[in-house]
Structure 1
Amino acid sequence: MQVQSSFKDDKVGHLYLVPTPIGNLEDITLRAKRILSEADYVAAEDTRTSGILLEKIGVHNHMLSFHKYNSKERAPELIKLLKAGKNIAEISDAGMPVISDPGYILVQECIKNDIPVVPLPGPSAFATALIASGFDAQPFTYYGFLPRKSSEQKEFFEQMKPAHATSIFYEAPHRLKKTLKTLGEVMGDSRKIVCARELTKIHEEFIRGTVKEVNEYFAEHDPRGEFVVLVSPNEEQEEVLSWQELIKEVDALVAQNISKKDAIKQVAKSNKVSKNELYDQYHQQ
């Protein structure tokens, strides 16, 4: 067990997870700007992209590259700096660190080495899209970027299909049409989707409709910008059997030489009811 306190201790540095705007620079917080200015180093997914951002918000600091291709080699170097009392602010290209970027590797190493990890709240593309989607925000499942192969995507969509939660994933513009076609093959046209693009930017747009309607829209409009795709929850009501019907299922299994105990257990599990309740109902008949 580990209990972390984010108190200031000059003997060891702190890792600050600093969110950056997903488009509109006005979304930078005062605290984020201060931490980026005061940290000894800024670990960035892409130093060129982040360098432009820091320049625009008036932050001039020493940057270190930290991306998925060098994360395993760079993490020990950053841990060494943190142990020496240096503070590091970790940022991604846009939005929240760790989400769809390698920040979790550095966080794990900090936890192993008892180095405080301090998260700052801020912009997130999938959360921004979710609250404007019109879908129920509770619960939801975020999948990040899907596999590129259609066969592998189908597995994800098969998992999403029965979910009574809003499903969210990211997709690049040049792959969007193909992905939505695969989604339609699995989901049919019974579900609604929202494709949100260029969030917080000038050309922010939400395309809402059934899978078929959105596919038809993109047949006439080329996708541009990064997309957040949201799939509505499965609202089909599952059939709920009465106790008498469940008892008949148990009797049918018992007639097949299955013990009453195992039959009750099997029927309870397949119908998602309490095994103990079904046991009581069965023996009260």
Structure 2
Amino acid sequence: MKGQLYMIPNTMGESAIEYNLPADVIDIIKSLKYYVVENIRSARRFLKKVDKEIDIDELTFFVLDKHTKPNDIPSFLRPLHDGKNMGMLSEAGCPGVADPGADIAKLAHENKINVIPLVGPSSILMSVMASGLNGQSFAFHGYLPVKKGEAPKAIKALEDRSRKENQTQLFIEAPYRNMRMLQDIVQTCSPKTRLCIACDITLDTEYIVTKTIAQWKGKLPDINKRPAIFLILA
């Protein structure tokens, strides 16, 4: 009998484990001995936050990041084929969503291995929940183009799509480029378009505010180097 692959949400910053993960999820994490992770050091730190009694030296980690060779990934599933359960752990939020964990889940399905998503924080869903924008129809686009002049074009295209489909558009940026992204948004979008800035979700410094572009102009918050997600609805 094959093992099961658990998709384990991670905290989105230095917030308490108990605030982010239900007790049943914590119990599952404590039972696992095999993990696919993006970074071993941060994975170890997360697991020690889950339970200080976890013996890290008893665990086996497989690293899945931008340097991982595609041909090496199938070998990560060997414990599952041997009947052992595994966890897929993202650096933050839910694995498989804007995350390389999707490659592991895809391979597990191809090998008829059960993939079980666990409850935990998702910046995408939580920002939609709190935004007051359209939660019936929304689309997440990840990172927008970074080359000079391309981001405003992408923002305009998303605003046009939002207007045409009455659909909330979500995207993110590298934290150190947040302020430039905000400037591009307020300079590109229509004054009546609504923009939600959701920053530091689940942290003590959480900031989630929705205003029209006209209301945001000249009054942008300082979210430099803070994890954020942007939502627009025309």
Q: TM-score range by the shorter chain?
A: 0.7 to 0.9
Supply the RMSD in Å over aligned alpha carbons.
2.1
Distance 1:32 1:185, change over 3 A: same
More relative contact order in 1 or in 2 (CA 8 Å, sep 6+)? Answer: 2
Alpha-carbon shift at residue 54 of structure 1 (Å): 0.9
Say whether residues 1:194 and 2:229 are aligned partners. Answer: no
Match of 1:78 in 2: 76
Question: Which 5+ residue runs of structure 1 have no aligned equivalent?
Answer: 1-10, 235-285
Aligned AA for 1:107? Answer: A
Q: Distance in 2 between matches of 1:32 and 1:166?
A: 31
Distance 1:20 1:173, change over 3 A: closer
Match of 1:20 in 2: 10
Match of 2:25 in 1: 32
Report the secondary structure of 1:175's partner residue. Answer: helix
Distance 1:230 1:36, change over 3 A: same
Report the secondary structure of 1:168's partner residue. Answer: strand
1:260-282 CA distance string (max 9 Å, x none):
xxxxxxxxxxxxxxxxxxxxxxx
Distance 1:90 1:196, change over 3 A: same
Aligned residues: 222
* Higher normalized strand content (fraction of residues): 2
Say if 1:207 and 1:214, in contact at 8 Å, map to a contact too: no
Report the secondary structure of 1:156's partner residue. Answer: helix
Aligned AA for 2:28? Answer: I
* Higher normalized helix content (fraction of residues): 1
Match of 2:170 in 1: 168
Q: Distance in 2 between matches of 1:93 and 1:141?
A: 22
Alpha-carbon shift at residue 17 of structure 1 (Å): 0.8
Match of 1:263 in 2: none
Q: Distance in 1 between matches of 2:31 and 2:180?
A: 45
Q: Distance in 2 between matches of 1:189 and 1:221?
A: 21
Match of 2:40 in 1: 47
Question: Which 5+ residue runs of structure 2 have no aligned equivalent?
Answer: none
Runs of 4 or more consecutive aligned structure 1 residues displaced over 6 Å after TM superposition: none
Q: Distance in 2 between matches of 1:160 and 1:120?
A: 31
Q: Is the radius of gyration larger for structure 1 or structure 2?
A: 1
